[in-house]
Structure 1
């Protein structure tokens, strides 16, 4: 109804402007017969008025009609007009017509911009329709095939480059949703996820599993432990998924796959665990392509056995490809096509990702999701590591090492705060843990991360010390000075870390 009313108003306004032009010309012709020649200056406003109120096509029509009527009336029909007056009149109307074109284009652009932005948010462009290497550097949207659309774009951590695509091919498949994700972790690490859910309410289940992975990753669990907890989450979401005593059979109609990897740019090592997902592929910096040999894990919820994990070295410049496909029963399906496609050099990471998608769709698979990851490394200019003895004197050594390294990095304002944090963490490790003790300092993305590793698996807890207690204030001081802090476990013990910015106003003066 609103559209019809606007069209009717525009039509009548167009008619009125044309009538004004015709009437003005008729009045001028009639006056000229009596010897009176006078130009109606309001004719200049007609094209601009039309451009401001009417659509572009009609505004151009009004402007052209005004210019043509002026040329005919003052150039040929009315006699006695001087050459200079005729030039002034026609030039003024021509300039008004040119200004109306500019106004009309600007107005049309502003009206179309919101619709274009809305269309781009709701319908991501098909990556096959354009050259992926010509796009500006920005977070790559994950174009997910319905159902199960996840409206999140991939973040772009500084330690990796990411490109992700989900595509639908031909064939029949049950209701399926896929997701790709990258999760910043402590110590400049990044968690990489590729998952898929097949079955009723697949899109809702995939969204809940994605949120659960992000929550579990924030706890800094090992990849295999995260998948075990994710299986419990799926069992609570869908009680029919939990397997019975016979771990080989299940009556559930829901199947969930997930591959979770953690890349550490300081050591250039990646830990990977999978549940029902195909093994990832790796492109070495020299172009060599290989498929990783991972422990075969069943889909989530189909067994109570623990998951396995594999550690691999990823030198700087390596490309890791995580992917899922619709053929859950054939774990290695499409591997040969994928490796052949990756062996051909590509111009950019996005092109590599698209090449992998097309190769997997030829297998054929009805749905494919690929996450391409190019790794970077932290060097001695951003990472420093020291091995410390289990001796109280090591605290002063640690403080001196920290001060020396921060001065070399040009971060003298951060020395007091970092020294105090390191003192508390190292003291706790010496008093309550066991060797080996290692201190690592990371300068990354405007923050300083202090990590103290030891051989104990006991986690410290923040508590409120009473007035006359001699202990219990170390972690409280760390929590007050740091932006974030936490504990993560490894196969060799644990790591307590604290992260803080090195702005001058956070500096602390100690006496």
Structure 2
């Protein structure tokens, strides 16, 4: 139907153009009857009028047609016209055509205002090809994805570069949904999520699961623990509003730029791929597990090292006919696509997406992540003995490091926070005790890790209590603080922004 409409419209345009050319010849012949050269307003005014009213392409066609008709008429159809007269008329029409070009250019400039141009050049929330070579504040035009491929709107933490694309296939509406996400975590870490839902009400379920992942990530759970809680969330959604046929797959990874380590756990999701800086492509040996809602077993996590500049690709892949994952040929096809070098992260993401779309009825979402690491200019680590004298050593370490970083004004507050956290670890926890200071994105993060799994809690000490004020002081000095657990113990962290100190009297 669309092709027939376009063909019919082009036929009408051609017919109108023929009528116009005939009218132009007739008018010019009448105006110049008997060899007299007269000014033809028709051939002079029409091109300029068309340039002002019609689209650029059509105005150019009319202008060129008028000029060609004038040359043909005065060159061949009218006899007895002097060379000078012929030149005058043709020059007038040529000037009219040139004026029409100027009108077209001026109109385009007025229509495309600076505000519109700025909107057109505003980059999407992911780095495009060549963007890394430009200044951070310089907007660049980002090419639109091919038809059927959509870009995921993702946060852009400073420790990673992110690009996400997904493609929705055919099938019943609302039976499948995919989502990609990146979640800033404490200690400059970032959580990476790729999930998919299959079954009735998939869109609503995916939205609720995404919110649940963000809430659980804010508690700083380990990836395998987060998936266990997410499985409980899905069970609750099924009991409330969803039928039992709904299933979901999810991969959750946490990347720590201070150690360049990534911890991953998946539920029914395919194994991610990694491209190291030397170009080696490998598939992560992720423990296999069924989708969420299909098992009572615990999930397992895998830890890998990601050197500076590594590229991690996580993805979800669902079949729209069965609602199940199709992983059999994914690994080989993905490795084959990633083995071909690409000019940028966006191109790598699209190449992986094309490789995974081996059947037109499949839905695929791909998250490409390029990692960055923190160096000695932004992170410092010290091992401390379980001795009260270590508190003084910790304050000295902090003062020296802040002086080296040019943050002397932040030393009093940071030293007091570290003193309270180290004292708490020595009194109530067990070794090994490690102190880590991170300067990232304009903030200072103090972390004290120990070998105990007990969680501290904030309480208000009574007037004559000799202790119990440590975390209360930390909460007053820090903008944010919290606790996260790992397989070897826990880490208490506190974050504040360096600046003129107003808390020194508290000490």
TM-score of the aligned structures, taking structure 2 as reference length: 0.72
State the number of aligned residues. Answer: 412
Counterpart residue number, 2:21: none
Counterpart residue number, 2:444: 448
1:430 aligns with 2:433: no
CA contact (8 A) 1:56 1:104 kept: no
Check 1:486–1:107 CA distance in 2 against 1; reply closer, same or farther (3 A cut).
same
Report how far residue 349 of structure 1 moved: 0.7
SS in 1 for 2:376: coil
Check 1:420–1:461 CA distance in 2 against 1; reply closer, same or farther (3 A cut).
same
For residues 106-154 of structure 1, the C-alpha deviation after alignment (integer angstroms, 9 at most, x for no partner) is: 552359949x969x99xx99x9xxx9525687899998999xx9x9721
CA contact (8 A) 2:152 2:180 kept: no
CA contact (8 A) 1:160 1:373 kept: yes
Counterpart residue number, 1:408: 404
Report how far residue 253 of structure 1 moved: 1.6
Instruction: Select the residue among 338, 341, 344 that pairs with 1:345.
Output: 341
Report how far residue 308 of structure 1 moved: 0.6
Instruction: Select the residue among 314, 322, 333 that pairs with 2:329.
Output: 333
Counterpart residue number, 1:108: 111
SS in 1 for 2:292: coil
Alpha-carbon separation, structure 2, partners of 1:385 and 1:134 = 35
Check 1:300–1:393 CA distance in 2 against 1; reply closer, same or farther (3 A cut).
same
Instruction: Select the residue among 454, 472, 487 that pairs with 2:483.
Output: 487
1:263 aligns with 2:244: no
Check 1:144–1:217 CA distance in 2 against 1; reply closer, same or farther (3 A cut).
farther
Bigger shift: residues 190-199 or 357-366: 357-366
Check 1:438–1:365 CA distance in 2 against 1; reply closer, same or farther (3 A cut).
farther
Alpha-carbon separation, structure 2, partners of 1:187 and 1:482 = 14
Alpha-carbon separation, structure 1, partners of 2:285 and 2:203 = 30
CA contact (8 A) 2:152 2:164 kept: no
Report how far residue 168 of structure 1 moved: 3.1
SS in 2 for 1:133: coil
CA contact (8 A) 1:173 1:366 kept: no
Report how far residue 240 of structure 1 moved: 8.0
1:315 aligns with 2:271: no
Alpha-carbon separation, structure 2, partners of 1:172 and 1:290 = 35
For residues 389-423 of structure 1, the C-alpha deviation after alignment (integer angstroms, 9 at most, x for no partner) is: 11111100000000001101111111011000000
Alpha-carbon separation, structure 1, partners of 2:365 and 2:359 = 14
Alpha-carbon separation, structure 1, partners of 2:311 and 2:158 = 15
Counterpart residue number, 1:359: 355
Q: Which runs of no fewer than 5 residues in structure 2 stay unpaired? A: 1-47, 64-98
Counterpart residue number, 2:162: 162
Q: Which runs of no fewer than 5 residues in structure 1 stay unpaired? A: 1-46, 65-95, 243-250
Instruction: Select the residue among 365, 380, 386 that pairs with 2:382.
Output: 386
